[in-house]
Amino acid sequence: MTENWYSDDKATMGDRISAARENAGLSVKDLAQKLGVRVKTLTGWEGDEREPRANYLRTLSGVLGVSLIWLLTGEGHGVGGEDVGSDAAPGREVVLSEIRALKQSVAETARRLDRLERLMADA
């Protein structure tokens, strides 16, 4: 693989996940462990064979130190802490997209908590 394989204007979501993981100094195995997913799942995301669910996107952005918007669109707070893309504030659709992703993440977390509480009650 060449050194300069990544460019903001051609990057896919998988490319951005991979670039952010490498920038964070994490191996695929390390990041998969932090996220609680299989290595195959993460390599599928990085290879653009599948996309992570909203709750994983939010976790990815936090673990990798990039914005959710950057992961989704390539604009915003990206690799190395730089702001990529437009200098203007994000548009309405971008903000609504992040709100929807956060709501989905919260709902997924609530379902997981409920399941864990039931498991503890049955134990």
Q: Does position 86 have pLDDT exceeding 50, yes or no?
A: no
CA distances from 84 to 17, 48, 60, 81 (A): 15, 21, 18, 9
Q: Where are the beta strands (DSSP E) in 24-77?
A: 76-77
Cβ atoms of residues 33 and 109 within 8 Å: no
pLDDT value for 26: 92
What pLDDT was estimated at residue 88?
A: 46
- Residue 9 is predicted with a pLDDT of 60
From the number of C-beta atoms within 10 Å of its C-beta (0-12, 13-18, 19+), residue 112 rates as: exposed
Query: Tokens in use for 57?
Result: 């996107």
CA pair distance 54, 14, nearest whole angstrom: 15
Percentages helix, strand, coil for the chain, rounded to the nearest 5? 65, 5, 35
On the question of pLDDT at 87 being above 80, the answer is no
Q: What is the mean pLDDT of residues 96-108?
A: 76
pLDDT of residue 55: 85
Q: What is the mean pLDDT of the chain?
A: 81
Which residue type sits at 37?
V
What's residue 81's pLDDT?
Answer: 56
Q: Mind listing the pLDDT tens digit for each residue in 33-57?
A: 999 999 999 999 999 999 998 888 8
Select the more confidently predicted residue: 10 or 62. 62
90: pLDDT strictly greater than 60: no
